[in-house]
Chains A and B, each alone.
Chain A
């Protein structure tokens, strides 16, 4: 009985976390800190910690929830994040076996480049310069990798 209540609380907490994270991303981060995407970082973190099923679910949900503020059709962002997550899982399993600085760096950089590539491919195939040839991608690369390294360092220290 207590276990069932625990499960219900976990699901409610997860839904609440997703809703608050999404509102925080759209209305706080996107307006003040360009280059930081918490859903994307969360997915990368889950891939690195080998919670692959959770990563896939978060990718799908995150894409769906954030689509409200994107200029794309609902569902397209989900598709992009799902393909990205699958590619990263395969890449991580093929090249690395555990969390090291190199693997975090590699997955962070590969993730950002792949995310921009997929966005360009599925959303706006005319405008390659907008996704690759600007300072935005550089900021995104630095911010995402730094955030990932910081989170994983805290996790390793607490383990």
Chain B
């Protein structure tokens, strides 16, 4: 390396270290805010183009599947029509029972946000188009349709925010299974999640739904995480663990809901 290049490398290296060291300082944070403000319109344009491209790519590659799927749906539709009559009767009965038990529906104040950027290589974090100006605060939970957990806000700028998905290795959620009521901890592994710290004497069932228990005080209670895919219990380990099949894959959506406050 030439002397001039070595000097440049040293300067840039020291600058990078200084930025890491002062990453929480006002100057760095305001620069980040300013930069995200400049980038936002470009990100919205490119994200729109990417969504259109994905839509048409999926449409082209799935024509055969769609045809098969359509004929299967027609058949299923016939069966479902029969079940629908029975279901509406049950629904009526159910709502009457709910009322009689005075079950209050959970009031969740939320805000819809569009995904405008993703990280490289993986789906551990993404950027949404809502920020501090929209009332978004660090720590808020992010869900998809059907109250399925996606992640939480880890960084906010004025108009954008960064969401850490539950796949991230830093992600921890106190959870409970819906049928057997077994408690444990849902942990991100980078590309997957597991249900860990399950007491060995507890019996889990494959396919059982896992929801947040709310006992950690970080995540609202009752949000859906996924289903048990596989249970692993070894004699030399204190706890059992289980693989989880996520109900909402972080890469498969373009819009999310931010829970502003929940009761």
Residues of A bordering B, CB below 8 Å: 19-20, 22-28, 30-32, 34-35, 37, 52-53, 56-57, 59-60, 63-66, 68-71, 73-76, 78-79, 82, 86, 89-90, 93, 124, 126-127, 129-130, 134, 136, 140
Residues of B bordering A, CB below 8 Å: 1-2, 4-5, 8-9, 12-13, 15-20, 23, 28, 32, 35-36, 38-39, 42-47, 49-51, 53-54, 57, 115-122, 124-127, 154, 162, 164, 168-170, 189-191, 251
In the assembled complex, the CB of B6 is this many whole angstroms from the nearest CB of chain A, namely 9
CB distance B164 to A19 under 8 Å?
Answer: no
CA distance A75 to B29 in the complex (A): 12
Q: A32-B53, A60-B15, A124-B169 are in contact. Are A70 and B120 (CB under 8 A)?
A: yes
In the assembled complex, the CB of A5 is this many whole angstroms from the nearest CB of chain B, namely 24
In the assembled complex, the CB of A121 is this many whole angstroms from the nearest CB of chain B, namely 15
In the complex, 14 of the A-B residue pairs with CB atoms within 8 angstroms, ordered by the A residue number, are A20-B42, A27-B42, A27-B118, A31-B51, A35-B121, A57-B12, A68-B32, A69-B162, A71-B119, A71-B124, A73-B20, A75-B16, A79-B20, A140-B121
Among residues of B, the one whose C-beta sits closest to the C-beta of A61 is B12
CB distance B119 to A52 under 8 Å?
Answer: no
Among residues of A, the one whose C-beta sits closest to the C-beta of B18 is A75
Q: Which among B19, B46, B57 is the interface contact of A75 at CB below 8 angstroms?
A: B19
Q: A20-B42, A26-B117, A52-B1 are in contact. Are A69 and B53 (CB under 8 A)?
A: no
Q: A27-B50, A32-B54, A56-B9 are in contact. Are A127 and B169 (CB under 8 A)?
A: yes
Q: Which chain B residues border A35 with CB–CB below 8 Å?
A: 121
CA distance A75 to B22 in the complex (A): 10
In the assembled complex, the CB of B124 is this many whole angstroms from the nearest CB of chain A, namely 5
CA distance A3 to B77 in the complex (A): 72
Q: Which chain B residues border A64 with CB–CB below 8 Å?
A: 16, 19
Q: Which chain B residues border A70 with CB–CB below 8 Å?
A: 119-120, 125
CB distance B46 to A68 under 8 Å?
Answer: no
Specify which of B4, B119, B164 lies most central, judged by the most chain A CB atoms within 10 Å of its CB.
B119
CB distance B121 to A79 under 8 Å?
Answer: no
CB distance A82 to B35 under 8 Å?
Answer: no
CB distance B120 to A78 under 8 Å?
Answer: no
Q: A69-B127, A82-B13 are in contact. Are A28 and B50 (CB under 8 A)?
A: yes
CB distance A28 to B169 under 8 Å?
Answer: no
Q: A19-B38, A28-B46, A68-B36 are in contact. Are A76 and B5 (CB under 8 A)?
A: no
CB distance B16 to A28 under 8 Å?
Answer: no
CA distance A82 to B11 in the complex (A): 11
Q: Which chain B residues border A86 with CB–CB below 8 Å?
A: 1, 9
Beyond contacts A68-B39, A127-B169: 16 other A-B pairs, Cβ-Cβ < 8 A, are A26-B117, A27-B50, A30-B117, A30-B118, A30-B120, A31-B118, A52-B5, A57-B12, A69-B126, A69-B162, A71-B119, A71-B125, A74-B32, A75-B20, A82-B9, A126-B169
CB distance A68 to B8 under 8 Å?
Answer: no
Q: Which chain A residues border B50 with CB–CB below 8 Å?
A: 27-28, 31-32
Specify which of B43, B45, B120 lies most central, judged by the most chain A CB atoms within 10 Å of its CB.
B120
Among residues of B, the one whose C-beta sits closest to the C-beta of A126 is B169
CB distance B17 to A75 under 8 Å?
Answer: yes
CB distance A28 to B47 under 8 Å?
Answer: yes
